[in-house]
């Protein structure tokens, strides 16, 4: 007899650290998720994307927020993978925009933006 398990995905089921990363990276990845810091960073970046109201590169956003670009890069991936996100009475998704030249790096990049997909009354 086989037992059926619940295979429903939950927020942040995707690994933060890569398989080939050293054990300390996996420990850090687990800690940032368990403490809620990963979720907090995602929410702060989403709020910044909404405020920008135009596609921005990850480096542009990092510079604007005063954050390390690597952190913004990782959390943008979380935001895209785990959309939609609830913020200020509406659901939002993070999408990639048409490629353009980044104002910070001077390289061709895929900027990202926040798109409102559903607004609820009296939220």
Per-residue pLDDT tens listing for the chain (123 residues): 444 444 444 556 555 666 777 777 667 777 788 888 999 999 999 999 999 989 999 999 999 999 999 999 999 999 999 989 999 999 999 999 999 999 999 999 999 999 999 866 655
Let me know the angle formed at the C-alpha of 45 by 12 and 84, rounded to the nearest 5 degrees: 50
Q: For residue 106, is it left (φ>0), alpha (ψ between -120 and 50) or beta?
A: left
The pTM score is 0.79
CB-count burial class (<10 Å; 0-12, 13-18, 19+) for 43: middle
- Cβ burial 69-79 (10 Å sphere, 16+ → b, else e): bebbebbbbbb
CATH of domain 23-119: 1.10.10
């Amino acid at each position: 007899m086989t037992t059926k398990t619940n295979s429903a995905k939950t927020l942040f089921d995707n690994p933060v650290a890569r398989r080939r990363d050293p054990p300390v990276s996996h420990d850090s990845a687990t800690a940032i998720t368990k403490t809620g810091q990963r979720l907090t960073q995602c929410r702060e970046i989403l709020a910044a994307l909404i405020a920008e109201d135009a596609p921005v590169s990850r480096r542009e956003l990092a510079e604007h927020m005063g954050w390390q670009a690597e952190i913004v890069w990782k959390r943008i991936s979380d935001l895209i993978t785990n959309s939609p996100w609830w913020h200020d009475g509406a659901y939002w998704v993070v999408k990639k925009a048409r490629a353009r030249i980044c104002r910070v790096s001077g390289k061709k990049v895929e900027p990202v933006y926040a798109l409102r997909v559903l607004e609820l009354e009296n939220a």
